[in-house]
Amino acid sequence: MSVARGARWLAARGIPFRVVRYEHAAKGAAFAARATGVALGEAVKTLVVETGAGGFLLALLPGDRELDLRRLAQALGRKRVRPADPSDVERVTGYRVGGMSPFGTRHALAAVFERTILDRERILINAGGRGGMLAMAPGGFRVLPGARPLDLCVSPASGSGPAISSLED
């Protein structure tokens, strides 16, 4: 399992982090949180969203929340956005689904992240390979291209509109 690309990307920008390894047995933030001993809300997941006309962006959200697609589309001034197909995810990021980091993607992708992530002292986010996470302060997200905090999420039980929690759903 290689976490080198995401870690090198952060190190080159002077962002402090620590690699946390775990035995990977299943994809998803819930498993990673249990395996690393952190609360699910501290395990940040990275989703790739298709914004139309072949455009993609990264959406980062706490593991215990779901992305509200309507809310994201509205924030972007789009009629509609949708989860990217796994083949597109791997093509534009260079990472496998289930081991995707927002850092060091093959193509520079704009990133939006759930505003409440900034309330956390530290988060864990995928390092770029299954079985590796990066422990860091959430302010490090601000170095991602076009990074901006938004109100992106609904809680899983709210049912306010189309939502996704991961590409495995």
* Domain residue ranges in the chain: 4-155
112 by DSSP, 3-state: which?
Answer: strand
- pLDDT for 157 beyond 70: no
The encoded tokens of residue 92 equal 């534009």
Mean pLDDT, range 132-137, rounded to an integer? 94
* 79 C-beta neighbours (distance < 10 Å), count: 8
For residue range 75-110, list pLDDT tens digits in order: 999 999 999 999 999 999 999 888 889 999 999 999
| Residues 40-73: tens digit of each pLDDT | 999 999 999 999 888 999 999 999 999 999 999 9
Q: Tell whether domain 4-155 is in CATH 2.40.110.10.
A: no
> Residue 166's pLDDT is what?
53
pLDDT-based confidence at 165, cuts 50/70/90? low
At 94, list the tokens.
């260079």
Listed in sequence order, the residues at least 6 apart from 149 whose beta carbon sits closer than 8 Å to its beta carbon are 112, 113, 114, 115, 117, 118
Among 102, 126, 115, 123, which Cα is nearest to 71's?
115
What is the pLDDT confidence band of residue 168, given thresholds at 50, 70 and 90?
Answer: very low
Q: What is the pLDDT of residue 23?
A: 85
169/156 Cα distance (integer angstroms): 12
Share of the chain above pLDDT 70, in %: 89
Amino acid occupying residue 84: A
With a CB cutoff of 8 Å and minimum separation 6, the contacts of 100 are: 46, 48, 89, 93, 126, 128
The pair of structure tokens assigned to 119 is: 């309330």
Please, what's the b/e burial string for 125-153 (b: 16 or more CB within 10 A of its CB; e: otherwise)? Answer: bbbbbbbbbbbbebebbeebeebebeebb
pLDDT digits (tens, 9 = 90+) for 5-34: 889 999 999 999 999 999 887 888 888 999
Q: What pLDDT score does 121 carry?
A: 94
What does the alpha-carbon distance between residue 75 and residue 132 come to, in Å, rounded to a whole number?
31
